[in-house]
Amino acid sequence: MQVLIIIFCVASCWAFPRFDEVAEVCIPTECNITNDCRCCSTDNPVSDADDPAPQLIAITLSQFLTQEVYDIIKPLFFDRSNPDGKPRGFTFYVSHEHTNYTLVQDLYLRGFEIGDNSITRDAGQAYWKLATLQDLREEFGGQRTIISTFANIPKEDIVGVRTPQLQLGGDTSIQAYIDSGLTYDNSWPTTTTNRVLPYTLDYASTQQCVTPIRCPEESHPHFWIAPISSIIGADGRECNSLATCDVRGTADDIAAWLIEQVDIVRKGNRAPLILRVHVYWFEFIDNSFEGFSKFLEQASELKDVFFVSVQDVLAWIHNPVPLSQYTTPLHDDRHAGCLPINCQYLNEYGDERWMGSCVPCPPNYPWKGNPLGE
């Protein structure tokens, strides 16, 4: 195989200048955490049965942030602590339309992770599939600029991205992320039978590529994939969003189902669990809000379970300590100024459109191709 590749390359490398970027099979001795590299694998770097890895859980949202959304998530995520007494974390991948950036700054200052979910959050799957590198740079690089400008938070702290409807566009998406200064993706679901831990794209991924997404095939050194964890939902079906898992019942039933899903992983390879939550889950499935709250409450009895952000999951994998040495990362050193203002615009149909901002209103509503609203 290698010989074939070399022969092919000698014959045709000038014609395909990117050919040498096709990722090779990962070799753990070449790819290790000391050089910010990790092979795609289900191996947990901590494998001591007496002192295992902490069971990390990252709850993630990916949508716009309005006052209404903020009021829903507040009782779920604020003022809850991990077994070490430190505050729990979570990750919010923010899309642009309807978002109130003063609230984005509020979440950031509370120590939560703010990530990027594009500007348009276009509902068409084809849009993301057919998007060019330039489109994707404008979507993700643009949203990173919008968040840092109007929430007035440092760009360096916005490093994670989730693509709308999980529509990864293969290497083009990853290249657009890298060009936009993003360092990890959280859009690619695992299967429950192959719970891979976060890894880099230096070498070829062995994570199952479930259609209809397009998975990256080239090498993207030091770019991280934090896989979304699939779990078992209603009727034993695999699912990767608590809403689409479609488990119904009393609040106790929903809480018990989630505790069971955590137990499966705790007793397995203890891969970090990265779960997707949507606010619409609470609207469409009875008892889901109370059930999810109960789950968050009951999980605090599990002394090896820590709720953190995806960024914190990646920090642990860079320094994979066992449970006895693990402490929740603190993000209490964040500072940002805000002079809150409501900016008013009209959309293309002449309807009012508002944007809460921490800095003076730009003349135009920020959008793809014009993130600063100039």
Ligand X SMILES: *[C@@H]1O[C@H](CO)[C@@H](O)[C@H](O)[C@H]1NC(C)=O
Q: Footprint of ligand X on this chain (CB under 6 A)? A: 29-30, 32, 34-35, 67, 100, 102-103, 340, 342, 354, 356
- The nearest distance, CB 268 to ligand X, in angstroms, is 26
Closer to ligand X at the Cβ: 29 or 193?
A: 29
- The nearest distance, CB 107 to ligand X, in angstroms, is 12
Closer to ligand X at the Cβ: 329 or 340?
A: 340
Q: How far apart are CA 236 and CA 189, in angstroms?
A: 17
- The nearest distance, CB 65 to ligand X, in angstroms, is 9
Residue (of 346, 310, 247) closest to 117 by Cα position: 310
- The nearest distance, CB 343 to ligand X, in angstroms, is 8
302, with CB counted inside 10 A (0-12, 13-18, 19+), is middle
- The nearest distance, CB 9 to ligand X, in angstroms, is 22
β-bridge mates for residue 116, sequence order? 94, 161
- The nearest distance, CB 37 to ligand X, in angstroms, is 7
- The nearest distance, CB 27 to ligand X, in angstroms, is 9
- The nearest distance, CB 272 to ligand X, in angstroms, is 22
Q: How far apart are CA 263 and CA 247, in angstroms?
A: 17
Closer to ligand X at the Cβ: 32 or 250?
A: 32
Closer to ligand X at the Cβ: 32 or 327?
A: 32
- Which residue is closest to ligand X by CB? 356
Confirm if 114 and 92 have CB atoms less than 8 A apart.
yes
Closer to ligand X at the Cβ: 127 or 345?
A: 345
Closer to ligand X at the Cβ: 245 or 355?
A: 355
To the nearest 10 degrees (0 to 180), the angle between helices 288-298 and 251-266 is 40
Closer to ligand X at the Cβ: 74 or 303?
A: 74
Closer to ligand X at the Cβ: 78 or 354?
A: 354
